[in-house]
Structures are given as C-alpha cells and as structure tokens.
Amino acid sequence: MTLSRRAHDDIVSHARETAPAECCGLLIGSSGAIVEAVRTRNIAEDPNRFEIQPADHIHARRVARLRGLEVLGFYHSHPHSPATPSATDLAEASYPEHLYLIVSPIAEPAEVRLYHLEAGGFKELPWQLD
C-alpha cells in the first residue's frame, strides 16, 4: 500500500492541530494507493474517542466517486498513546475490508500505522510513502 506524502502530512497535521482531542477523517484512493486524506468533523462528546460526522462521510464518498476514486478507509489519532488499535477501535469498527490508519502525534516523527479490518480483528499492513 502506498500513502501519498500529501495525505500523510495532512493526517499528521490534523492530529497535531486537534490534540489533545482525537481527530478523524477518510482515506481516499484506488487500487492500493491512498492519494488523499479528507478531514471530517469529530462529533464524539468525549475527546478521547472519535465519531465521524455522517454528512461529512457521505459528502466525501460522493466527491470521491465523481473523481473516479473511492473511500478506502478511515483515519484517526491517538493523541496520548501509540498508534495501535484499542479495544474500543475494534468494537466500533464497522466497515469490514476497509483500511484503518492510526496516527500518534506524541512521537517525533509522528507514528503512523495502517491496518486492515478482517474477520477477527485488525491486521497491520506495510505501507510506503509515495
């Protein structure tokens, strides 16, 4: 899987801007390449959780489709912990076969890890900057 430098930098910036609250967004691309990250509003009342604003999600899907792209998955931040899925992340992940990127801005450089949601849990995927 490739992650464009622009998408990577946008995700890290979003995480740092919203800390200490979690940020969230969508991963846009096609056939093994994440080409951009779309920021969404986090409507969770708890700053240690995230919930993507449904209207933002629908709008991003429509725009991606019009451009011949698709929503490959989602990203969110762990502003106080490593970029590994929590029990809550697994319990609330509702899009099988999608990608889930987690960024932890507490390190320098930020820790960015990519996962694929499969039956039974998250599987970490290798990725490289494009």
Catalytic residues: 22
Q: How far is CA 14 from CA 1, 11, 37, 68, 121, in A?
A: 21, 5, 10, 25, 26
CA distance 127 to 114: 7
CA distance 116 to 127: 12
Report, in angstroms and rounded to the nearest whole number, the Rg of the chain calculated over CA atoms.
Answer: 13
Cα-flanking dihedrals φ and ψ of residue 11, to 5°? -65, -45
